[in-house]
């Protein structure tokens, strides 16, 4: 079946690269001291997530992930970084305090990681008996305009209200002076 030599090995290598980019980007996003590096890490993480969506049989969602997250969300956060002064304060808390809170945060996140990974690996997942649709872009469009038309319209209202609210909130301090 495999016509290209080492097809499977190349595929696994690309998969490992995508997983590595996702987790590495997330680590940069959460741990770097300079915020602009954190935003870049979030961009890397979203690129890797796009690749993972591609492996999950959904090229449409992969493109949407890169378009919305890298193209819109991260660029908006970069604007926020430029308009404020977001770097982490250096040596503000005492060393004992830092170790205590860092340990507590690490413990919480490790417990969450263990619990969710255990659920994912050991849970009673069942393969479906039959697939109703093929998950193509056509199926998504049909479902969006028939079964899910109400949430679709609600999302557009939420976006409109969010834009107006963002304008009002960001403007209010300006008119006073």
Partner 1 sequence: MNLLQIHQRPGVYLVVAAVLLAIGVYGLIRRRTLIGMLIAGELIFSAASLNFMAVNRFFAPDPAVGQIVVLFIMGLAAAEVAIALSVIIAVYRNYRSIHSNDLSELKG
Question: Residue 140 CB: number of other CB atoms within 10 A?
Answer: 15
Among 17, 63, 99, 101, binds partner 1 (CB under 8 A): 101
In angstroms, give the least distance from the CB of 3 to partner 1: 16
Q: What is the per-residue binding string for partner 1 in 15-44, x denoting contact by CB under 8 A?
A: x---x--xx--xx-xxx---x--xx--x--
Among 4, 94, 173, 175, binds partner 1 (CB under 8 A): 173
In angstroms, what CA-CA distances link 94 with 53, 78, 99, 135? 43, 30, 9, 53
Enumerate the H helices of the chain as residue ranges. Answer: 7-31, 35-55, 59-65, 74-83, 95-122, 137-145, 149-176
Buried/exposed 14-42: b ≥16 CB within 10 Å, e otherwise: eeeebeebbeebbebbeeeeebeebbbbb
Decide: is 106 part of the binding site for partner 1 (CB under 8 A).
Answer: yes
Among 17, 99, 100, 170, binds partner 1 (CB under 8 A): 170
Q: Please report, as residue ranges, which positions from 112 to 151 form the binding site for partner 1 (by CB under 8 A).
A: 112-113, 116-117, 120-121, 125-135, 139-140, 142-144, 148, 151
Decide: is 169 part of the binding site for partner 1 (CB under 8 A).
Answer: yes
Decide: is 174 part of the binding site for partner 1 (CB under 8 A).
Answer: yes
């Amino acid at each position: 079946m495999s016509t290209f030599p080492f097809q499977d090995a190349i595929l696994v290598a690309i998969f490992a690269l995508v997983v590595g980019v996702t987790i590495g980007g997330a680590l940069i996003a959460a741990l770097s001291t300079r915020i602009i590096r954190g935003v870049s890490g979030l961009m890397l993480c979203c690129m890797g997530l796009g690749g993972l969506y591609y492996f999950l049989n959904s090229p449409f969602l992969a493109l949407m992930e890169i378009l919305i997250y890298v193209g819109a969300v991260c660029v908006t956060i970069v604007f926020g970084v430029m308009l404020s002064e977001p770097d982490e304060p250096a040596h503000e808390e005492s060393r004992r305090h830092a170790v205590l809170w860092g340990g507590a945060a690490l413990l919480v996140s490790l417990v969450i990681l263990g619990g969710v990974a255990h659920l994912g690996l050991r849970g009673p997942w069942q393969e479906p008996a039959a697939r109703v649709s093929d998950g193509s872009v056509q199926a998504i469009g049909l479902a969006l305009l028939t079964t899910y038309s109400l949430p679709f319209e609600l999302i557009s209202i939420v976006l409109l209200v969010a834009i107006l609210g963002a304008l009002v909130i960001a403007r209010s301090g300006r008119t006073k002076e």
